[in-house]
Structure 1
Amino acid sequence: MKVSAALIALAAAVSQVQAATHLLPRAVGDSCTAPEGKGTCQNTSNCAGISYPTGLCPNDPTNVQCCVKISCSTSSGSGYCRSVSNNGCSGGTFISGACPGSSDIRCCVKSSGGGTGGGDGHIDQYSINHLKSLEGVRRYFYYDSVGKKTIGVGHNCDAHPGTCDNLVEPLTDAEIDRLLRMDLQIFETCVCKMANASLMNKYQFAALVSFAFNSGCGGASRYFADEMKSKSFSKICTDLPTTNTLNGLLTSRRTKEKELCQKATTVKSGC
């Protein structure tokens, strides 16, 4: 059976298009999967976490690698898990025992003028401990009032599939902090999106994140949007003890949030 010249030409053209498509680099921001979890393809200079040089972003330039951002907490402060051999910890110190994976993956804690981390759009270790004292800590699995499997500082395993699969009871302090930092990210992000959040100091920011963790992102915006717009951060601190206290049930918590909010520091929120 003879094949026409036109069909041969068409097949060749399709083959060339497929080859060209295969050679196109993956766009920065595309998803990727690494041993320590899911991430995105990023320029290595923009990756705060672990970057993998092993072809997880195929066809990209060598400076675009799979970046997995995992928060970590230590007694020396908070940071991100990074590879000792591939990423380094410029301006900080590697601390073992706070990150998943091999011994090459350690917590990179940056030096900070405040002495306990923070100033990077995340609350510092002092504020993490403060929040744990307000919320309470459970080292063993339990089921909450609506039947959800829970552990740590109210970490909902059902809402975050896979995050509890490899946990061993009782949880260590590092595991409790890791889960809490994971859960806090949504609240840190929504507070950072409020007007003038970058001008707050790290303890004003931490107090508002604590409020959002308890009252929701909508609550933080509803009660304090005007103060944020007018940069009245000190007023937020003084108003906390009388804001959304559930008829006095949360007055003690709000008073402690006020004390955190008024803690002196020159370090900004980092939003």
Structure 2
Amino acid sequence: MFQALPILLVAVGVARATLNGACTIGSTPGTCISTSTCSSGGGTYASGYCPNDPADVKCCYKTSCGSGGNCRWTSQCTTGNTASELPAGLCPGPTDFNCCLPASSCIPKAVNSATITLIKQYEGFVASPAPDPVGLPTVGYGHLCQTTNCGEVPYSFPLTTTTATQLLNSDLKTYTKCISDYVKDTIKLNENQYGALVSWAFNEGCGAAQTSTLISRLNAGESPNTVASEELPKWVYAGGEVLQGLVNRRNAEIALFKTASGVISQPPC
């Protein structure tokens, strides 16, 4: 169906856009980004809809994301139920071009204070955008910049620990959503098990979590504590090398995962 779109749209005109700005292919919203970024994010691009930008910047769209969602600009998501995935996005492009999901009354649980403390400890606080240990620009408590100078962050720099915490809580909604989506509702996880997985996904990305042996083993009904003990230690590499910081973080996540609690966070409803 979409192969015919470019021919159809030439007849109705081309909407001009800027880099990371909005573009439209028929009734399908998109964003003007590089073709490589579009492809790596699972999108499809079409030529001729971002004429003010360099040749490798094209209108990128993605019509399916998450559980029954579509990639839309936040302002266009009429359900108000959006999910983004950082650093590997459900939708390619800027953070306000994300996955618009069907309306749902079942909201993933927020993580507990023990999880927040763990994440803050291992992410560290960065008041203004700066490269992390592998060279990626971050700010606050592990927020990966999506635009130049982290322009998508709604707080002024340098951040305070208060605004950085607010940013972290906002970012974590993405990862509570993906863990809640990826782990079957038949699998019960307490608040510490759930929080440890959210910390891991925040560090490694929802895409990695979704395809991981860890999630598949949990969904197969194996003992959660056994799975965490055997699978989390595998996630200690960056750039092909073992990082001691990741070793330490995985050990802390395992310790949190194994901390008993009577509070169930997964499934959320």
TM-score (norm 2): 0.50
**Alpha-carbon distance between aligned partners in 2 of 1:184 and 1:268, rounded to the nearest angstrom:** 18
Cα separation, partners in 2 of 1:145 and 1:242, compared to 1, 3 Å: closer
Cα separation, partners in 2 of 1:263 and 1:146, compared to 1, 3 Å: closer
SS at match of 1:150: strand
CA RMSD of aligned residues (A): 3.7
Aligned to 1:193: 181
Aligned to 1:178: 166
Cα separation, partners in 2 of 1:177 and 1:166, compared to 1, 3 Å: closer
CA contact (8 A) 1:240 1:257 kept: no
Question: 1:2-21 counterparts in 2 under 5 A?
Answer: none
CA contact (8 A) 1:238 1:258 kept: yes
Aligned partner letter, 1:266: G
Cα separation, partners in 2 of 1:148 and 1:241, compared to 1, 3 Å: closer
2:215 is the counterpart of 1:243: no
Aligned to 2:205: 216
SS at match of 1:214: helix
Aligned residues: 167
Question: 1:63-78 counterparts in 2 under 5 A?
Answer: none
Aligned to 1:227: 218
CA contact (8 A) 1:121 1:269 kept: yes
Any idea what the Cα deviations from partners look like across 1:123-151, whole Å, max 9, x if unmatched?
12221111111121112332557986531
Aligned to 1:155: 143
Measured after TM superposition, the shift of residue 269 of structure 1 is 1.3
CA contact (8 A) 1:227 1:235 kept: no
Question: 1:68-107 counterparts in 2 under 5 A?
Answer: none
Aligned partner letter, 1:253: R
Any idea what the Cα deviations from partners look like across 1:187-236, whole Å, max 9, x if unmatched?
22111112335611111011111111222223324121122321521213
Aligned partner letter, 2:262: T
Q: Identical aligned pairs, as a percentage?
A: 26
Aligned to 1:261: 257
Structure 2 residues not aligned, in runs of 5+: 1-72, 83-106
Any idea what the Cα deviations from partners look like across 1:170-193, whole Å, max 9, x if unmatched?
x22221122112222222211111
Which range is displaced more, 253-262 or 231-240?
Answer: 231-240
Cα separation, partners in 2 of 1:172 and 1:222, compared to 1, 3 Å: same
Aligned partner letter, 2:248: S
Cα separation, partners in 2 of 1:123 and 1:38, compared to 1, 3 Å: farther
Structure 1 residues not aligned, in runs of 5+: 1-32, 43-66, 70-118
TM-score (norm 1): 0.50
